[in-house]
Amino acid sequence: MNPSRHEIGIVGGGLAGASAALAFARAGFDTVHVAAPASADGRSTALIGPSVRFLERLDVLAALDGRAQPMFAMRIVDDTGRLLRAATVEFRAAEIDLPYFGLNVLNRDLLDVVRAEGDRLPGRLRRIEETVAAVELDADHATLVTDAGRTVACRLLIGSDGRRSVVREAMGAPARSWSYPQVALVLNFEHQREHEGVSTEFHTASGPFTQVPLPGRRSSLVWVETPEEAARLKDLPLDRLSDEVERRMHSILGSVSVEAPVQSFPLSGASVMRLAGQRCALVGEAAHVFPPIGAQGLNLGLRDAEALLACAEAHRDDPGGAAMLADFEARRRADVATRTAAVDLLNRSLLTGFLPVQALRAVGLGALAALPVLRHALMREGVEPGSAVAGMMARARALLPGQRASG
């Protein structure tokens, strides 16, 4: 069977892959998206900063039609019960002149909209709902074969096929993985009181317990626990689990009613030594795996897709060529590395009983509560990665001899 030929091929049916397929097709690239139908996903994602703007340019946000909840404030509460406890810190988007930090949306709603927008581009986006069985890479093309025997060739192959990526395996890219002694329960719930667009993260001795607002009197919850406690909680009837959620939240939203299903995920992380190879690049969980902490996973994957598209547009004469892929690697490496280290450090700092680490954490959160300048810098870095470093560099340049006079 002769292969179908395209400029861009994307493997993986999750949100990062579907968004990348829509973005490349919207930009005028002949795109094929190869993925088995995605399984139902009851989780939500807090879209932050660049992710919001990226999806806005793709007309995805307008199509969500009230299914996304703005997050106006985020609160961190030390609920570890340890000797050295940190001050409660509240971040408000209005402090840095933003209407909101981001939007929380159910993954299934977001995927439905992304795919519907792609359906509007039948001449530029082709979908093949089959599983990729093999990938071959050479200097001119990447070729993939599906489990149904279909062959597809493309100039740039994008692997967005998860932590067991077939594309990454074909690249021969070494991956370093690790696990945590924790399991995340993920669920949605209704509650008695208005959340007012506030997300509250309770830091506990077993990990974060994070409520994120959804439209109406509903919220999503990521609850990190020991494997034994997570198993016990997941087996509870929904009414008893609802009581546990209300108790752990100190009833700040009143009585709650947990919705089925309750999902659980062992916490792990992974990083890949290279993000690009011969005629291919990795985005999303094919490139980096995060525990569900700090809203980094999909946001980082969408930044991968946006950067890869920018590089392809800058090298339209040869998308997938060595120069384009080197540009992508350079653009994404620092962001991925720093976010990986930050999430890992936050999670491990909660697990340790070592007093000096507890003291450092308490002092750090206390400084954020007391010093608006520091708090504002962290907020800007959260919604605009790299902005804190850029701001420090700008202030440093302003202090150099001759700079103030020339301004």
What CA–CA distance (Å, rounded) separates 19 from 22? 5
The 10s digit of each residue's pLDDT in 55-72 is 999 999 999 988 999 999
CATH of domain 4-62+106-177+269-347: 3.50.50.60
> Percent of the chain beyond pLDDT 90?
61
What CA–CA distance (Å, rounded) separates 275 from 281? 6
**Residue 369: pLDDT band by 50, 70, 90 thresholds?**
low
What CA–CA distance (Å, rounded) separates 308 from 68? 26
Q: How confident is the model at residue 294, as a pLDDT?
A: 55
Q: Which CATH superfamily is domain 68-104+180-268 in?
A: D-Amino Acid Oxidase, subunit A, domain 2 (3.30.9.10)
Model confidence pTM above 0.75 = yes
Strand partners, 264: 185
Answer yes or no: is pLDDT of 127 > 80: yes
Answer yes or no: is pLDDT of 397 > 60: no
Mean pLDDT of 45-57: 91
Q: What is the mean pLDDT of the chain?
A: 86
Q: How confident is the model at residue 358, as a pLDDT?
A: 45
The 10s digit of each residue's pLDDT in 256-312 is 999 999 999 998 888 898 999 999 999 999 999 877 665 567 899 999 999 999 999
Answer yes or no: is pLDDT of 205 > 70: yes
**Residue 83: pLDDT band by 50, 70, 90 thresholds?**
low
> Percent of the chain beyond pLDDT 70?
81
Q: How confident is the model at residue 400, as a pLDDT?
A: 46
Q: How confident is the model at residue 38, as a pLDDT?
A: 79
**Residue 336: pLDDT band by 50, 70, 90 thresholds?**
confident
Q: ∠363-367-368 over CA atoms, to 5°? A: 120
Of the listed ranges 64-78, 221-235, 316-330, the least confidently predicted one is: 64-78
Closest CA relative to residue 72, chosen from 51, 56, 53, 94: 94
Amino acid identity, position 124 = R
Q: How confident is the model at residue 340, as a pLDDT?
A: 79
Residue ranges of the domains in the chain? 4-62+106-177+269-347, 68-104+180-268, 354-400
The 10s digit of each residue's pLDDT in 213-229 is 999 999 999 999 999 99
